[in-house]
């Protein structure tokens, strides 16, 4: 019997669930339930001081309030450090990872002018040839670990946005997989957890499209199957074209719930934003699941505006 397709919902407890997060999680869930995928839940709580106490429980409660369900126990990344450490050791032994003591300021000073709007500054490889004992003795500070990238372009075959090719040397350079406090960085933790759980369908925002290229490269170096399919969705942004944040007002799910907004309005707005309905209206999760079509979803960013806020109010 073939193994079912598996996806995961992966909230990060660095803040409250806002409407942009809600839309992505709901679309992920609808695709999964329509297509018979397993749905796993993973709390990605490795972002150090940005992780807020009790935020994880609040996120899980809010997703459950929306009607989302998941299969099996919740996986918490902070409880999986041993798995990440073993993966790092494999990469170290193979010569794919090396220590780095550069600060962001060091990287900015060494790099040529970054392209406007780029999320990352490409790492110039300053520490690549230097052994960890030399680095620590010279600078007396803990080292992060970076993964070597090659010159071969990485092609991401995305089910929603199509095929994209990335040159990792140019967009990020050798990237951090373990931070200087010993905590696994996002790219390593995600790859190890997805592989361990058999996740082969990933639905998320298109701000992480280049992360798919990094993760494909990392999977290759670890000898993991390249069986993952991706759906990267355009973000929900404010009227200024920037991702939803406090500058756009309070777009937290908790805010609308506290003002008496029912889940049917939240789900109805998701239906409107994803092209399922021609107007904003309430609907239940079962209706949205029965009618949802990814083909109807706009290929451009969704703009949260005053009409959306008024509908939920």
Give tens-digit pLDDT for 168-180. Answer: 999 999 999 999 9
Residue 260 in any domain: the answer is yes
Domain membership of residue 214 (yes or no) is: no
Nearest-angstrom CA–CA distance, 94 and 87: 11
On whether both 51 and 150 belong to a single domain, the answer is no
End of a domain among 141, 176, 192?
192
Domain assignment of residue 239, yes or no? yes
Residue 9 burial by Cβ neighbours in a 10 Å radius (0-12, 13-18, 19+): buried
Q: Provide the domain limits for residue 73.
A: 6-79+234-312
Assess whether 66 and 162 both reside in one domain: no
pLDDT score of 282: 98
27 and 130: one domain? no
* 174 in the same domain as 85: yes
* Domain stop point among 167, 192, 217: 192
Question: In this structure, is residue 13 part of a structural domain?
Answer: yes
**Is residue 116 a contact partner of residue 103, using CB atoms and an 8 Å limit?**
no
Answer yes or no: do 254 and 163 share one domain.
no
Which pLDDT score, from 0 to 100, does residue 112 have?
38
* Domain of residue 38, CATH code: 3.40.50.620
- The reported pTM is 0.91
In the chain, which residues have pLDDT < 50?
Answer: 111-118
What pLDDT does 137 receive? 53
- Asked if 87 and 72 sit in the same domain, the reply is no
The pLDDT value recorded for residue 53 is 78
Q: How far apart are CA 217 and CA 230, in angstroms?
A: 15
Residues 74 and 130 in one domain: no
Residue 179 lies in a domain: yes
pLDDT value for 108: 57
Q: How many domains are contained in the chain?
A: 2
């Amino acid at each position: 019997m073939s193994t079912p397709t598996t996806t995961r919902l992966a909230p990060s407890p660095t803040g409250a669930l806002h409407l942009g997060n809600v839309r992505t999680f709901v679309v992920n869930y609808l695709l999964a339930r329509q297509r018979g995928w397993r749905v796993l839940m993973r709390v990605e709580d490795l972002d150090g001081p940005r992780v807020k106490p009790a935020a994880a429980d609040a996120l899980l409660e809010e997703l459950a309030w929306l009607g989302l369900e998941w299969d099996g126990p919740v996986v918490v990344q902070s409880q999986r450090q041993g798995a990440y450490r073993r993966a790092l050791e494999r990469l170290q032994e193979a010569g794919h990872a090396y220590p780095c003591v550069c600060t962001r300021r060091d990287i900015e000073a060494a790099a040529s002018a970054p392209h406007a709007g780029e999320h990352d500054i490409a790492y110039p490889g300053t520490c690549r040839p230097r052994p960890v004992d030399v680095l620590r003795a010279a600078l007396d500070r803990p080292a992060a670990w970076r993964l070597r990238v090659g010159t071969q372009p990485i092609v991401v075959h995305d089910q929603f946005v199509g095929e994209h090719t990335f040159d990792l040397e140019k967009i990020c350079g050798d990237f951090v997989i373990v931070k200087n406090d010993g905590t696994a960085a996002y790219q390593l933790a995600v790859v190890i957890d997805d592989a361990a759980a058999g996740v082969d369908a990933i639905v998320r925002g298109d701000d992480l499209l280049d992360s798919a290229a990094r993760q494909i490269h990392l999977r290759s170096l670890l000898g993991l199957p390249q069986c993952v399919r991706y759906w990267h969705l355009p973000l929900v942004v404010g009227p200024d074209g920037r991702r939803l944040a406090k500058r756009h007002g309070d777009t937290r799910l908790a805010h609308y719930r506290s003002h008496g907004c029912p889940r049917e309005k939240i789900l109805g707005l998701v239906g409107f934003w994803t092209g399922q309905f021609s107007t904003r209206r309430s609907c239940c999760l079962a209706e949205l699941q029965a009618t949802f079509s990814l083909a109807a979803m706009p290929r451009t960013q969704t703009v949260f505006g005053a009409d959306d806020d008024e509908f939920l109010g």
